Amino acid sequence: GAPDPPAGAVALALGTEGPRGREQVRPQADGRAARTRYRTRARHGPASLLELELDTGRTHQIRAHLAALGHPVLGDPRHGTPAASALARRLGVPRLFLHAGRLVVPPLGPDDPAGPRTFDEPLPPELAAALR
């Protein structure tokens, strides 16, 4: 689908629920604060390509926030929907369609001579093939 609005932020506290080994991260009022900014980069039929920026780094944050928006990550067996799973199979997506294209590491301290470090990584071939 397409998030509406096409850009924004999800600020939902996250917590875990469910039996050990099968826990799911979900929005919970008494959970830990979490915020994800998103921007729609492109529409591809029944799916959208999003660019995400995390203001916090909670476990499964992206997966839980996008599922809460009603737009789970393609190929997500825990937070996805049957329709999203069927689309992932049809597109040949063998895993979560989730990729850290850019990682920015802040300076390790005020005297860090390297300053912030940025690492860029292209989309893996199996995910690029699904986009084509």
* Residue 35 CB contacts under 8 Å (≥ 6 apart), including other chains: 9, 10, 11, 54, 55, 56
The pLDDT score that the predictor gives to residue 18 is: 86
Give the residue ranges of DSSP H helices in 1-101: 61-69, 82-91
**15 forms bridges with which residues in the sheet?**
26
pTM above 0.75, yes or no: yes
Q: For residue range 102-114, list pLDDT tens digits in order.
A: 999 889 888 988 8
Query: ∠ CA(59), CA(130), CA(56), 5° rounding?
Result: 20
CA 121 to mean position of chain CA atoms: 16
**32 forms bridges with which residues in the sheet?**
14
The pLDDT score that the predictor gives to residue 44 is: 84
Q: Give residue for tokens 């050990």.
A: 20
The pLDDT score that the predictor gives to residue 100 is: 95
- Measured CA to CA, the distance from residue 123 to residue 18 in angstroms comes to 33
Q: For residue range 31-48, list pLDDT tens digits in order.
A: 999 999 999 999 988 899
Q: For residue range 68-101, list pLDDT tens digits in order.
A: 999 999 999 889 999 889 999 998 898 999 999 9
